[in-house]
Amino acid sequence: MIGTGYIGSFTSLALLEAGYDVVVVDNLYNSSEVALDRIELICGKRPAFHKVDLTQEAELDKVFAAHPAIDSVIHFAALKASSIAGPSWLLFHNLHAPAVGESAEIPLEYYRVNVGGTISLLSSMKKHNVTNIVFSSSATVYGDATRFENMIPIPEHCPIGPTNTYGRTKSTVESIIEDFITAERQNAQKAGKPFEQWNGANLRYFNPCGAHPSGIMGEDPQGVPYNLLPLLGKVATGDRPKLLVFGDDYPSRDGTAIRDYIHVVDLARGHLVALNNLREHKPGVKAWNLGSGRGSTVFEMIKAFSAVVGRDLPYEVVPRRQGDVLDLTANPTRANTELNWKTELTMEKACEDLWRWVSNNPKGYRQEPPAELLKA
Ligand code: NAD
Ligand code: WQD
């Protein structure tokens, strides 16, 4: 039970391909039902879909009642810092003013959807005895891990310390899931019932990117892109004149900040293995980093994307973006060993797949996919 958004749609596809039945719930705030058409074109199967707002518990109850076989939830629905919806937010994202970040501007909305929505979801799951939850957390919960010695690459035991409202909604939800699962286990034990069925995974994604290799499925946010690679895509298609590089005065190998870019297809597979771990090993609540372990600078990403586009892309260095940190590179050892999962696709492959998606679908899901890609 998941979303129609970027990562949710790729995870739906991975689940269907692995033989799961999938029920998708989303209010389509930042996504489109067309994602379901693309999933069907790729794998021949279509998930069930309910247009429901996560904060409406009675509506969620109806979905669980309609699908009594559901035993697990993968929870993607959230407002996120990486798309800026609505014209008023354009003000904060013009070419010369690095974005303050939407979550700092409308914190109550972020808490209402991300935290309030999760509470509705867990409450509804409890009523319908749905006992496994996989949650989309973020590397953002770590904040600036360089404030500690020897915490880059970042292991899960690194103390969390989000530096923005969005990150605080994620760390709050992680705590809520931990408290909820712990309580349900204790309640079941006291009642002499099996308790191991209650499990949760907090998946801390690093920087998801890329698109489906077919070129017919990718990220299609409703607002203005905020993340580096979608913005590079816009520069390459001519929709933006240049990329603004937010700071070249970081203490890194070339002065720009370092991130761990992970291909969305690898990330989607990470959800399957986490879900299987909950079902088979019943670990209680666990956090897993989903990253490659390889950090790339902004300049390295510009170079890699320019290489697949076949020409140099224009950029201009401007001051640092407020709230950015030097280095978010994962130590993925826990996921490597406990989930037997590691990334298989490089950031160069993510650049290649992203370019195939954006160059062939300039209007995203608001256009039919090109016939030559459908034949391939
Ligand atoms: P996305 O915006 O494409 O997907 C989120 C989905 O949630 C959208 O389809 C949106 O319509 C839906 N949604 C929002 N509010 C809702 C509500 N009230 N009720 C029902 N549905 C609602 O974003 P994504 O990149 O696919 O991110 C998925 C999850 O992963 C989010 O929780 C996000 O915070 C988290 N995450 C994303 C990234 C990233 O860089 N993309 C990194 C770390 C964590
Ligand atoms: C990557 C690097 C920028 C745009 C954000 C959210 C995080 C998670 C993922 C979840 C940084 C630099 C970017 C530009 C630039 N979201 N950059 N010029 O900031 O690591 O993480 O997305 O939903 O919570 O904070 O990702 O892609 O925005 O930036 O120089 O126009 O690229 O400064 O170093 P970030 P990003």
Q: What is the 172 CA–ligand 2 centroid distance (Å)? A: 21
Ligand 1 centre distance from Cα of residue 142 (Å): 19
Please give the number of the atom of ligand 2 that sits closest to the Cα of 231: 31
Count how many Cα atoms sit within 13 Å of the Cα of residue 56 in the half-sphere of its side chain. 12
- Out of 2, 6, 207, 220, give the residue to mutate to test ligand 1, the one with the largest number of ligand atoms within 8 Å of its CB: 6
**CB-facing half-sphere around the CA of 95: CA atoms within 13 A:** 10
For residue 231, the surrounding DSSP H or E stretch is: helix 228-237
Single out the residue of 62, 36, 58, 60 nearest to residue 48, CA to CA: 36
Does residue 54's CB lie within 6 angstroms of at least one atom of ligand 1? Answer: yes
122 backbone φψ class: left, alpha, beta (φ>0; ψ -120 to 50): alpha
Please identify, by atom number, the ligand 1 atom nearest to the C-alpha of residue 80: 34
CB count within 10 Å of CB 178 equals: 16
Cis peptide bond N-terminal to 153, omega within 30:
yes
Residue 366 CA to ligand 1 center (angstroms) comes to 19
> How far does the chain reach from its first CA to its final CA, in angstroms?
30
The low-confidence residues of the chain, meaning pLDDT below 70, are 81-100
Distance from Cα 276 to the centre of ligand 2, integer Å? 30
**Residue showing tokens 């309910």:** 50
Could you give the C-alpha distances from 372 to 34, 352, 369, 375, in angstroms and in order? Answer: 19, 17, 9, 5
Give the residue whose CA is nearest to atom 11 of ligand 2: 257
Catalytic site positions: 166
Whether the Cβ atoms of residue 265 and residue 345 lie closer than 8 Å to each other:
yes
The interface predicted TM-score (ipTM) is 0.99
Cα distances from 41 to residues 26, 210, 365, in angstroms, run: 20, 19, 13
Which of 142, 169, 227, 250 for a ligand 2 pocket mutation test, highest count of atoms within 8 Å of Cβ?
227
Using one digit for the tens of pLDDT, what is the confidence trace for 167-206? 999 999 999 999 999 999 999 999 999 999 999 999 999 9
CB 143, CB 160: distance < 8 Å:
yes
The pLDDT score that the predictor gives to residue 349 is 98
30 lines ligand 1 (CB under 6 A): yes
What pairing do the DSSP bridges indicate for beta strands 83-84 and 224-225? antiparallel
Can you give the pLDDT at residue 11? 98
- 243 in contact with ligand 2, CB cutoff 6 A: yes
Point out the ligand nearest to the CA of residue 229: 2
Output the pTM of the full model: 0.96
**CB of 205 closer than 6 A to ligand 1?**
yes
pLDDT of res. 82? 53
* For ligand 1, atom 41: residue with the closest CA: 208
Whole-number Å distance between alpha carbons of 121 and 328: 30
State how far the Cα of 311 lies from the Cα of 156, in Å rounded to an integer.
Answer: 39
Q: Output the furthest CA–CA distance in the chain (Å, rounded).
A: 66
Ligand 1 atom at minimum distance from 55 CA: 18
Give the residue among 41, 44, 84, 75 at the shortest CA–CA distance from 365: 41
Residue whose structure tokens are 């909950």: 278
From the CA of 75, give the closest atom in ligand 1.
32
> C-alpha distances in angstroms, 278 versus 2, 12, 129, 195, 257?
17, 18, 15, 13, 35
